[in-house]
Amino acid sequence: MALAKTIPGASPRMVERLSLYRRVLQQTSAAGSHSTYSHELAAACRVSAVQVRRDLMTVGYSGSTKSGYEIKPLLVAMDTFLGNTGPVDVALVGVGHLGRAVLAFLCWRHPRFVPVAFDRDTRLTERVLDGVHCLPVEQMADTIQEQQIRIAVVCVPATEAQRVSEQLVAAGVRGILNFAPVTLFLPSYVFIENIDISVALEKVAFFTG
Amino acid sequence: MALAKTIPGASPRMVERLSLYRRVLQQTSAAGSHSTYSHELAAACRVSAVQVRRDLMTVGYSGSTKSGYEIKPLLVAMDTFLGNTGPVDVALVGVGHLGRAVLAFLCWRHPRFVPVAFDRDTRLTERVLDGVHCLPVEQMADTIQEQQIRIAVVCVPATEAQRVSEQLVAAGVRGILNFAPVTLFLPSYVFIENIDISVALEKVAFFTG
C-alpha cells in the first residue's frame, strides 16, 4: 500500500493495531479496570506481547512490569498519536443498505466523523437519514470543494466505483475507504483502504478447519 | 491472529493478497487480457513485484520474464490453492442494513457462499430476503448443528456480539467474520476475522495528508 502521508515509525498495519488496542482498552475501561498488561492486550488482539510493547513505545508510552499500563493516560496518548482531535468531514457516496449501515454507524457510534451523503436516487435525496441530509450526486463535486472534504467512503455498486472515485479525487478527496469489490486505479497520492467482504470471507473459509 | 488451521506457507495476510490478486486478474481477464506481469499485478494491489512473485510461487505457479503470467491457468491454480471448490454454507446473524448488504452481496456476487439468515425480529423472519429465508434466532443452534455449518457472519449490534458468537461456537461454528465493533473473546481454535469500519476509517484519516 503506497502511503499518501509518511509518518516515522507508523505503518498502516501499526495504525490498525493501535485502533484495535484502543477499542479493547475502551471496553476494559468501561468494564471498570484501571490498568492492563501487554499480554492481556496481546491476547485480546491476537498479536504478540512484544508487538504490543513495541507499538505502544512508538506512541510514546511505556508500562511498568509490575503494574502494567494505566489505561486512561494510555488512551490519551493514543488519541494524540492517532490525531483524534476535532471533527472530520467525510463524503459518503451510495446510500443503499451498505451506505445506510455505514451512516448509522458513523452517526451513532463515531461522532468524530461527520458524514455528508450522496446518492443518485432522488427518492433518497429528499430524505434525512440518521440525521444526515442526503444530497443528489450532482452536488458532490461542489460540496466537496466548498467544504474541503478530504476523505470519502465509497458504497456504490462495483460498476460505478472507479468513475465515482475519479470524481472524488478530482474534487479534492485524498483518502478513500472503498467497499466496492473492485480494485480502484487512482494516483498514488490517494490513500485507499479496501474493505472487501468476499476477501474476508474467503480468508475465514480458508483457515476454518 | 491465532490460526484455527495451519497451512505451510500460508499466512492470513498472504491469503488476503491472493484473494486480491484473483479479483484483479478476473477484472483484467474480463477486460480482454490473456496475460499479465508481476509488476502490473503489484501496482494494482499496491504491493511489491517481489511479493507478488513470492506469493504466486507458493501457489505453485511461476511466470516467464518475457510473457509474464497466463491469466486463465493462474486463476485455476489460485482457485485450487484457496480451496474454491463446491458451495459453503454460511450462517448470517442479524439482518439489519449491514446484514442485508452482506446477504445481497453473497447472493448476487458470490454464489460459492450459501447463506442461512437469522434475526430476532419476527417482521424479518417471515420474509424471503434476496432469495434467502430468514429464520428466527431461536432456530439458529439447531440449524447450524443439522447443516453442520462451520462459518458465520456476525452483523448484530455490539452489545449482542459476544453472546451470539458464543452460541455460534457452541453450535459448531469454527470461523467468524465479525462486523460488530467489539473484540470477541473466543477459544483460540476459532478463526476470527474482524471488519471494523471505524478502524478502517481512522486509518484513512491518519494517512490522508
In a domain, B174, yes or no: yes
Alpha-carbon distance A106 to A103, whole Å? 5
- ipTM of the complex, rounded to two decimals: 0.84
pLDDT at B2 over 50: no
- Strand-pair category, B191-194 with A151-154: unpaired
Tens digits of per-residue pLDDT, B137-170? 999 999 999 999 999 999 999 999 999 999 999 9
What is the per-residue pLDDT for B87? 87
* B190 within domain boundaries: yes
Residue A64 lies in a domain: yes
Please, which pLDDT band fits residue A59 given cuts at 50, 70 and 90?
confident
Shared-domain flag, residues A59 and A103: no
Are residues B112 and B193 located together in one domain of the fold? yes
Q: Give the pLDDT score at B63.
A: 73
Tell me how many domains chain A contains: 2
In this structure, is residue B44 part of a structural domain? yes
Mean pLDDT of B126-144: 88
**Residue A145 maps to a domain:** yes
Domain boundary among A49, A80, A111: A80
pLDDT, tens digit (0-9, with 9 covering 90-100), for B71-87:
999 998 888 888 766 78
All three cell numbers of A23: 477499542
Are A111 and A195 members of one domain?
A: yes
**Contact across the interface for B183 and A24, Cβ inside 8 Å:** yes
Residue A3 lies in a domain: no
Interval A130-172: pLDDT, tens? 778 899 999 999 999 999 999 999 999 999 999 999 999 999 9
B77 and B92, same domain (yes or no): no
Asked if B95 and B158 sit in the same domain, the reply is yes
Q: Which residues pair with B88 in a beta bridge?
A: B113
Please check whether residues A70 and A127 belong to one and the same domain. Answer: no
pLDDT reported for residue A164: 97
CATH code of the domain containing B178:
3.40.50.720
The CATH number covering residue B55 comes to: 1.10.10.10
- The pTM of the full predicted model, rounded to 2 decimals, is 0.83
Do B122 and B26 sit in the same domain of this protein? no
For residue A23, the cross-strand partners are none
What is the CA angle A72-A74-A79, rounded to 5? 100
Residues A20-34 have pLDDT tens digits of 899 899 888 988 999
Cβ-defined contact of B205 to A88 (cutoff 8 Å) = yes
Query: With left for phi above 0 and alpha for psi between -120 and 50, is residue A172 left, alpha or beta?
Result: left
Of B82, B183, B198, the CB nearest to A202: B82
Out of B82, B104, B139, a domain closes at B82
* Closest A-chain CA to B103: A97
Check pLDDT > 90 for residue B60.
no
Containing structural domain, residue A33: 12-80
For residue B205, list chain A residues with Cβ-Cβ distance below 8 A. Answer: 83, 88, 113, 151, 175
Choose one of B82, B97, B124: the last residue of a domain: B82
| Cβ neighbours for B29, distance < 8 A, ≥ 6 positions apart | B71, B72, B75
